[in-house]
């Protein structure tokens, strides 16, 4: 769909082996701002790749601990989470620091919760899938540019919205269709 999304990452990391607990990778963009409305791309202090584990936690690509930023936070830490076929999300308030560690549970909500994230159970939020062309909007272009061109294919694809390794009707019907019309609420 989109060979160069705005968050495309040309990192220097390499991984010798991937743990079977890893289900995908994410890109984290660390921003420093007094509030989420001012946490624009211009406030980006660091960009980090991270592996998503099957228990919902993140680890460094090396697989040995939490992602660590070298950013110095003066105002408040906001983290944008980017994924290959989901609209990006950002925490709604600064992440609290405890003894030099910043922790945030995105299942409790993201900024703009209902338009930019999806409530999958009462009080449990998730990133919204269906953004096959990585433009942070779920619309007809995702179906045309990504799903339509890759339907019937297998592998790691932007059109595999349900992330089962296959692009088929269930991706379109179960993920893209109910989320169509939604977009990211991350400040530009």
pLDDT tens digits, one per residue of 87-133: 999 999 999 999 888 889 888 887 766 667 888 899 888 999 999 99
Averaged pLDDT score across all residues of the chain: 90
Number of residues that make up the chain: 188
Global pTM? Answer: 0.92
Sort residue 130 into left (φ over 0), alpha (ψ -120 to 50) or beta.
left
Residue 116 to residues 90, 125, 177, Cα–Cα distance (Å):
9, 10, 15
- Below-70 pLDDT ranges, the chain: 1-4, 112-115
How far apart, in whole angstroms, are the C-alpha atoms of residue 31 and residue 111?
14
CB-facing half-sphere around the CA of 119: CA atoms within 13 A: 7
């Amino acid at each position: 769909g989109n060979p160069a999304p705005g968050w495309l990452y040309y990192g220097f990391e390499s991984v010798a082996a991937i743990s079977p607990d890893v289900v995908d990778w994410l890109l984290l963009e660390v921003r420093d701002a007094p509030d989420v409305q001012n946490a624009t791309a211009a406030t980006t202090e660091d960009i980090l790749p991270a592996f998503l584990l099957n228990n919902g936690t993140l680890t460094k690509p090396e697989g040995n601990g939490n992602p660590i930023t070298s950013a110095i936070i003066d105002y408040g830490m906001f983290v944008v989470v980017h994924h290959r076929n989901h609209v990006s999300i950002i925490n709604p308030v600064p992440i609290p620091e405890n003894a030099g560690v910043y922790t945030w549970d995105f299942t409790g909500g993201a900024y703009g919760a209902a338009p930019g994230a999806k409530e999958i159970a009462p009080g449990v939020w998730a990133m919204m899938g269906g953004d096959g062309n990585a433009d942070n909007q779920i619309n007809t272009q995702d179906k045309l540019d990504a799903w339509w061109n890759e339907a019937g294919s297998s592998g790691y694809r932007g059109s595999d919205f349900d992330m089962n390794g296959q692009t088929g009707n269930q991706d379109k019907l179960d993920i893209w269709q109910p989320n169509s019309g939604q977009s990211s609420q991350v400040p530009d």
